[in-house]
Amino acid sequence: MSDEEQEPKPKKPRVAKAAESGDPAAPKPRARKAATPKTERIASGSGRSSVQAVTEDPAPRAETRRVLSVAIGVLLIDQLLKYYVIHILKLDRVREVDVFYPWLNLRMAWNQGVNFGLFASDVEVMRWVLVAVAVAVCVWVWIWLRNTVHSAFAQISAGLLIGGALGNVIDRMTYGAVADFLNMSLPSWQNPYSFNVADIAIFAGAVGLFLQPPLRRERSETAGEAETKPAAKTSAKAAAKSAGNSATAAGAKPVGKSTSSRSKADDKTRDGAGK
């Protein structure tokens, strides 16, 4: 040996040697688990359970976007027109402007009640009661849409109703009354009432919801049926496979008998050749 000290070679761990030797009893190194999508076990009708990936239904998101888009659009148009009429045209001072007389006119009117001046009152409490009722109606329509499946027509109608109701709520909170400025009359008849864009949206939305087709089942039932369909298909395939295996097992011949018969035939052939 040389005087220089030789560095000892690093020893391989026993686990690695055992793995290289092919020993099945040797512990194998742990492998990192790959990220798997979230799954859910669903019981089938045959008693077995099938595992399938759970994905979020994009339908509620699309419906929510449609309703919100219509409601926000109605609210913006209503408030912009009211701002233009009140603060730029000064219609609250001028009172009347003929646009296409007598078909379309601007007639300023402050409505402290609902349509056609119903429930109008100077009492401050009544103002906030009407605000609370309008907000409650909007919340109820929103929850109703979220819990059931509706057509695009019903969603647009609900957006019109919600946007119009919120537009009048902003008027009551800002001015203390709803700003009505649109008037439509006939040559032989002068309409004494005025309205606004929010009133048109509320009326159209309410009529649309009333005339919509019959409601379909609740969203939870629809989602449940959609989840059970893949499970039913899986159970049907498993049943067909098991039936095929049983039929194959019933039609198969015993291997031992066929082998013995072949050996006897070979012995007879050899005896005949020897003779």
Measured CA to CA, the distance from residue 113 to residue 107 in angstroms comes to 17
CB of 183 closer than 8 Å to CB of 191: yes
Residues 6 or more apart in contact with residue 77 via CB below 8 angstroms? 197
Residue 22: which region, alpha, beta or left (left: phi > 0; alpha: psi -120 to 50)? left
180 is catalytic: yes
CB of 189 closer than 8 Å to CB of 169: no
98 is catalytic: no
Out of 180, 266, 267, 271, the active site residue is 180
Out of 199, 266, 267, 271, the active site residue is 199
Residue 266, Cα to own-chain centre: how many angstroms?
A: 73
Q: With CA atoms as reference, report the closest residue to 78 among 90, 70, 89, 66.
A: 70
Q: With CA atoms as reference, report the closest residue to 228 among 40, 2, 37.
A: 40
Phi, psi of 107 (to 5 degrees): -130, 115
Q: Which residues are catalytic?
A: 180, 199
